[in-house]
Amino acid sequence: MASRIVTFNLNGRDVEVMVKPLTTLQTVLREHLHLTATKSGCRQGGCGTCTVLVNGEPMLSCLLPVEDVAGQEVLTLEGITPVEGLHPVQQAFFDNYAIQCGYCSPGMIMVIKALLDRNPNPTRQEVMDAIAGNVCRCTGYEPILRAAEDAARRLATAARTN
Amino acid sequence: MREVMSEVVSEMKKEFHVVGKSVPRRDGIGHVTGKTVYVDDISFPGMLHLKMVRSPIHHGIIRNVDFSEAEKVPGFVRVLTHRDVPKNIYTILCLIGVGPDEEPVLAVDRVLYKGEPIAAIVAETEEAAMEAVSRVRLDLEELPAVFDVEEALKPGAPILKPWGTNYFVYEGHYCRRVRFGDVEKAFAQADYIIEEVYNTSPIEHAPTETTACVAKPEPDGRYTVYTNTQALFFTMDNTALILQVPFSKLHFVGGTVGGGFGGKVDVIVEPIATLAAMKTGRPVKFKYTREEEMRVSSTRSAWRMYFKDGVMKDGRIIARKVISYADSGAYNRHTPYAVTKHAANVAGPYTIPNVYIDAYCVYTNRQPASAMRGFGVTPASFAVECQMDKIAETIGMDPWEIRFINAYRNGDMRPHQKVVEDATLIEVMKAAAELAGHQLPEHLLKMHSWDREKV
């Protein structure tokens, strides 16, 4: 089948890509646009490491045909990383050692960012529910939960100061 | 004890820059920003992709492999078979004197496990490589397979190795043996004989990043290999031996591993990807799919361990006989070494005057087993500690007490003829009891690793 052009908003900027039908968002991000913060762990929706936000909602980019995000807003880890310093969720992951091999971190950070955007003060159970689809095979879940709670505090403090 | 420790720690905080302090991770910023470069994040212009043609059966003869349809797939570049590999038969641990070589990089005329690589296909895209692989026609003659370690050692079992047995040969012996004292004599004197069998299952490491490498030809005639191996120089040396090139021809770049746990110490993707780069003159990426990682990559080996202990009424273990079988799967990988470690550790951290151990490294038609976190020792520890509880229960003694009584002390001789110099078991058990809120009786608290009280 012939390729077609798909346009969507990526990290605040409109992009245009030419893809074969059913090309996944993950392939477009990693291979067409060379944005490799979004990882490729299983390509079958099982590990969560490829999670990006589509209109603010966590989605598995390995299962998502890029045509489905035409005209919509996609946010990747590159999109939340400031030019200098770190996003509060990133800073909380760094400070709480919520990283071991680092391969699940991009997906975890995006899922927790989405959670805190809609629920600024989640319970530990709500954080656990949010990351239920993200595998950390180093099994560093406890520091990840602590980082999520720490990030919520940082964002609340930042909101008060602003 | 705790007071002493906290004093030591506060002293350390005064003296040291790192010990006793939290240090920011050097790779942490890269990890939280996604800027850390993993192997799969690397690509080069003109890079090719490699995929394996794999055996769909557990055991069989290769009669014919027909690539004619695969070659027609758009993007197909070339195929590699065993004839292309300079030293096709290898064994990873040859670097520490383990032999003989017995695993093919690419199967020659026989396959010993489901998923065994038969040929490599290199193509312009990953999709084209996968499509070409799916069009290879394999003509295989299926043979009876064996999946159980004890079945594999019975007369009449399909023989998997050219030397005519299904076990690894240790210096001319059928297994790794430990002989210490006289177990039979001690069993005759024991108040109790306590027997049990313990089994452990294979475990897949399942790292979130699958096994991968990129091999790239350089203008100076060398090859740069970007890899997520856990054993960079071991892998480089094995690759050089397999490809029969000087070590200086290879430049391995690694250190960034998206989870390993022992699953990335085998030399699996690098030799064939480097060979493909040599044969095509182009960079080649070989990355396992999740399915390959689960079904083909090596696992922790499965074990079966038969224990027979002779125990006195006062709790002393006076004899231990263990017959262990490790399921190495179809090939050596790291299991011969795992079995040696197992034999040295399966008496446990206890002083037993009479010990007899036979530890077998057995081949079956399962995917090869290899390293994983304490491999060889971990199943031994599991079995030993279950056995200690069983002994305690059988003779009616507190499970803490049975361990304190038998714990090894400095100066004791281990069954494999090493004198203990650094015993800490008793101190560790005291600390564990404290952490668990368990009050140990006074006579156990008086014990130390550095001397032996009068029993």
What pLDDT is recorded for position B12? 59
pLDDT over 90 at B358, yes or no? yes
**Each residue's pLDDT tens digit, B65-82:** 999 999 999 999 999 999
Domain at B176-203+298-445, CATH from 3.90.226.10, 3.30.360.10, 3.30.365.10, 2.30.30.110: 3.30.365.10
What pLDDT is recorded for position B7? 61
Instruction: Give the relative orientation of helices B425-436 and B399-406 as an angle to the nearest 10 degrees.
Output: 160
Mean pLDDT of B365-381: 96
Tell me the pLDDT of chain A (162 aa) as tens digits.
799 999 999 999 999 999 999 999 999 999 999 999 999 999 999 999 999 999 999 999 999 999 999 999 999 999 999 999 999 999 999 999 999 999 999 999 999 999 999 999 999 999 999 999 999 999 999 999 999 999 999 999 988 887
Kindly state the percentage of chain B with pLDDT values over 70.
96
Give the pair of three-digit tokens for residue B190.
């024991």
Which residues in A lie closer than 8 A to residue B205 (C-beta atoms)? 137
What residues does each domain of chain B span? 41-142+206-295, 176-203+298-445
Query: Going from the N-terminus, what domains does chain A have, and what CATH number goes with each?
Result: 4-76 (3.10.20.30), 88-161 (1.10.150.120)
Say how far residue B297 (Cα) sits from the centre of its chain. 11
What pLDDT is recorded for position B451? 84
Q: Measure the CA–CA gap between A76 and A88, rounded to whole angstroms.
A: 15
Q: Could you check whether the bond before residue B100 is cis, i.e. omega within 30 degrees of 0?
A: yes
pLDDT over 60 at B4, yes or no? no
B388 CA: distance to closest CA in chain A (Å): 29
| DSSP assignments along B19-42, one per residue | TTS----TTHHHHHHT-S--GGG-
Closest alpha carbon within chain A to B261? A138
Closest alpha carbon within chain B to A91? B32
- Write the ipTM: 0.97
**A137 contacts B261? CB cut-off 8 A:** yes
> B10-24, B66-80, B205-219: lowest mean pLDDT where?
B10-24
Q: Which of B28, B41, B290 sits opposite A94 (nearest CB)?
A: B28
**Each residue's pLDDT tens digit, B275-296:** 999 999 999 999 999 999 999 9
**Homologous superfamily, domain B41-142+206-295:** Aldehyde oxidase/xanthine dehydrogenase, a/b hammerhead (3.90.1170.50)
A94 CA: distance to closest CA in chain B (Å): 6
Amino acid (one-letter) located at B242? I
Mean pLDDT of B13-37: 89
How many angstroms separate the Cα of B83 from the Cα of each of B80, B86, B142, B217? Answer: 8, 8, 23, 21
pLDDT over 70 at B2, yes or no? no
